[in-house]
Amino acid sequence: MILTVTLNTALDVTYRVPRLLPHTSHRVTGATERPGGKGVNVARVLAALGHKVTATGFAGGAVGAVVRELLAADAGVTDALLPCAGATRRTLAVVDEASGDTTQFNEPGPQITPAEWARFQSRYEELLDGARAVALCGSLPPGVPVGAYAVLVRTARAAGVPVLLDTSGEALRRGVAARPEMIKPNAAELAELTGSRDPLPATRDARRRGAHAVVTSLGPAGLLAATADGTWQAAPPRPLAGNPTGAGDSAVAGLLSALTEGLDWPARLTRAVALSAATVHAPAAGEFDPRTYEQVRGSVTVTHAQA
């Protein structure tokens, strides 16, 4: 079983409009609702790849109930979300069909009490007992300590379970110091962590800060990975137009699934890039287009990155 942690779960709402214009009314041409938050998206992709996966985190209020109802309909994902008194947040993505651009609105999330955080840590330790790997993903809801991910990384390491950490800001800085197996920042998150906007030295610098491997998302240009076995860049054959929301989460699912299967780094990166590209052609985060995945997977180029 692979465990995903989403402390700040969400109900992801996606609207499609012919053209997004400020200060006007819009006719919505399509709307979808999905259980969301980065780790939930990762869980759904892992399940689609055939892995047994358990999703944990917090869910509360009427929105949390909808998230759990929708999650129950996702085959292969086991719901281990813990109830909280506050209301689960919503995220709203508005897709401009004319340009293909997406505008995102993210609510902050529920206030988590110290007692709720303590209950989660106990449940997390129990779930690690059957886990082959764990993904710690996304933002921290109000009330959760900023060092929460560092605590969860150390707990997993003590249990012998490899951790992939995908977060940002101070939570990432502290989490890296706890020495996770892997982190997956995007270019902006990496620059914030290291102070450098040059991806190659910044990726290597991030690894020196404690992570065993650092995989940086370069957007349409693919992934850059600094590992104990070398540094690689993996790129799709061409940029794909579409909705990029959730593409990074699919890359995390690719990396984590390949890790549990014992694949080498070029194969891990190939899978992650192909899944990320295929998500751009999917209607919502946590999904990928199988045909695009197969097409891109056969055309990904993986090269050693030079200093």
Residues with catalytic roles: 249
Sign of CA dihedral 134, 255, 279, 105: positive
Distance between CA atoms of residues 12 and 142, nearest Å: 19
DSSP letter string, 10-75 = EEEEEEEES---TTS----SEEEEEEESHHHHHHHHHHHTT--EEEEEEE-HHHHHHHHHHHHTST
Q: How many CA atoms lie within 13 A of 281 on its CB side?
A: 15
| CB 132 within 8 Å of CB 101 | no
**Per-residue CA distances from 139 to 36, 72, 148, 175 (Å):** 12, 23, 11, 12
| CB 42 within 8 Å of CB 9 | no
* 176 token code pair: 């890296």
Distance between CA atoms of residues 202 and 265, nearest Å: 19
| CB 23 within 8 Å of CB 38 | no
Which of 138, 130, 120 has its CA nearest to residue 3? 130
**Per-residue CA distances from 245 to 81, 105, 250 (Å):** 23, 12, 10
Which of 48, 59, 56 has its CA nearest to residue 3? 56
- Residue 3 backbone class (left: φ over 0; alpha: ψ -120 to 50; beta: rest): beta
